[in-house]
Homo-oligomer: A and B are copies of this chain.
Amino acid sequence: MTIKLYCMGESGNAYKAALALELADLEWEPVYVDFFGGETRTPEFREINVMGEVPVLVDGDTSLTQSGVMQMYVSDRTGKFGGNTAEEKRDILRWIMWDNHKLSSQAGMTRFLMNFLPEEKRPLEVIPFMQGRLRAAYTTLNTHLEGRDWIVGDALSNADMSCCGYLFYPEPFGFDRTEWPNIDHWLSNIEQTPGWKHPYDLMPGSPADRA
């Protein structure tokens, strides 16, 4: 049965799950969610996910939300990207949780405020504040990646596919990979992974559609 991923190209959180499905060679298809048209705020969507968020993964009778849970589901099904030892598994989960807490949550919000909210509605003090917090997160990641090709161990894992969620997007939100050499090297490693695709090539929906 083909796995369905409810998603849109603009969502870095959806990208984390889509990339794991794609690189694990699972049979999956994206189902476009009209986030910008308000679909995730409808009662129908809230019935599917009380959190009101994309992505949602449906595999037969199994319905999952939260991209980190989907990544672990892909690992459980395929044995890929989840680490080889108990220590690696915990370390991968550690970086997924850090990403949720400090990196993607704030990057996603800042990118939204700067690019997808009408200019007159932008909270102008919030943006530089969030960018300051994000610089602390980039510093942590860049420091950790010193001398490493991957976040955990010596291969691509869910930790990489979580932390990179928002870092390939072209819209400005205060991240410039050339400022962070270890992050830049690590993103290049991900891009060079056979089968890798940019979020706008992997899922339907992009700002170009609304231009």
- B94 touching A97, Cβ below 8 Å: no
8 Å CB contacts to B: which residues of A115-159? Answer: 123-126, 129, 133, 140, 143-144
- A93 touching B72, Cβ below 8 Å: yes
Roughly how many angstroms separate A44 CA and B124 CA in the complex, as a whole number? 36
Within the complex, the shortest CB–CB distance from A122 to chain B, in Å, comes to 11
- B90 touching A101, Cβ below 8 Å: no
- B66 touching A94, Cβ below 8 Å: yes
- A69 touching B51, Cβ below 8 Å: no
**Does A64 make an interface contact (CB < 8 A)?**
yes
A→B interface (CB under 8 Å): 46, 50-52, 62, 64-66, 68-69, 72-73, 87, 90, 93-94, 96-98, 100-102, 104-105, 109, 123-126, 129, 133, 140, 143-144
8 A-B pairs (CB sep. < 8 Å): A46-B143, A62-B87, A97-B97, A101-B104, A105-B105, A109-B133, A123-B129, A125-B125
